[in-house]
Amino acid sequence: MSKVYARRRLSILAAFTGLIASVGLFNSPTASAALPTPVSAATARSYLASLTVATENRTGYSRDLFPTWITISGTCNTREYILKRDGSNVVTDSSCAATSGSWYSPYDGATWTAASDLDIDHLVPLAEAWDSGASKWTTAQRQAFANDVTRPQLLAVTDNVNQAKGDQDPATWMPSRTAYRCTYVRAWVQVKYYYNLSVDSAEKSALQNYLSAC
């Protein structure tokens, strides 16, 4: 075997190995559910300590006070943007609707191949935000919160899991996948801190307990 041929074989083998690794990466759960990385547990504990503790008040709440979904990019609204971000091999039509792809729901570990099986979860629910300070915001501020693709606030998850969560906070609901709970509470605290939202006493206690195990 000539040296040139040997080098060529090694080059082809390396490229093939790299391709296989890439395919494995994109098909793995960690490649899906691309929530912006939350702050560290230590930072989350620091943020939590600074949050105001207050009793929640839902008087006057309506989901319509938080306009969703808005155009994020081109023809893509917030839902479509998150579906593209969180899925693997997502194909969209001219209106940006997902026609195929694969989505891994980090709350329950389920994988879906139909976008209709997914909801876009507001990690800190809209009603929870209202209860803890958003009632004083302008409509523009509430719209920004409801469509925030920069903070770890929006995530594609199994629809009935999201519906079971509803507007509950970590004192009464957590993802069934224990491996995701640290990410979840770090994200929750980061969002509350960024938007200067309060926590109630049960919520703060639950967050402290979960963060202590992170």
Predicted local distance difference test score (pLDDT) of residue 200: 98
Determine how many CB atoms are found less than 10 A away from the CB of residue 17: 10
Nearest CA to 182 out of 207, 199, 149, 153 is that of: 207
Given pLDDT bands bounded at 50, 70 and 90, which one contains residue 10? very low
Predicted local distance difference test score (pLDDT) of residue 21: 32
Three-state helix/strand/coil letters over 102-169 = EEEECCCCEEECCHHHEEEEECCCHHHHHHCCHHHCCHHHHHHHHCCCCCCCEEEEEHHHHHHHCCCC
pLDDT in tens, 158-181: 999 999 999 999 999 999 999 999
User: What distance lies between CA 212 and its chain's CA centroid?
Assistant: 22
pLDDT in tens, 31-58: 345 899 999 999 999 999 999 999 999 9
Given pLDDT bands bounded at 50, 70 and 90, which one contains residue 119? very high
Determine how many CB atoms are found less than 10 A away from the CB of residue 7: 10
Which residues have CB under 8 Å from 52's CB, separation 6+? 198, 199
Of 27-36, 43-52, 108-117, 137-146, the least confident: 27-36
Which tokens hold the place of 78?
């917030």
Residue recorded with tokens 């006070």? 65
Determine how many CB atoms are found less than 10 A away from the CB of residue 11: 10
Q: Across the strands, what pairs with 102?
A: 88
* Average pLDDT of span 72-88: 96
DSSP secondary structure letters along 21-43: HHHHHHHSGGGSS-PPPPPPHHH
More confident of the two residues 150 and 23:
150
Residue recorded with tokens 């093939």? 16
pTM of the model: 0.84
Predicted local distance difference test score (pLDDT) of residue 88: 97
Q: Please state, rounded to an integer, the average pLDDT across all residues of the chain.
A: 88
Which residues have CB under 8 Å from 169's CB, separation 6+? 125, 128, 188, 199, 200, 202, 203, 206
* Average pLDDT of span 144-168: 98
Give me Rg for the CA atoms of the chain.
Answer: 21
Predicted local distance difference test score (pLDDT) of residue 211: 98
Can you state the angle between helices 201-212 and 41-50, rounded to 10 degrees?
A: 160
Predicted local distance difference test score (pLDDT) of residue 126: 98
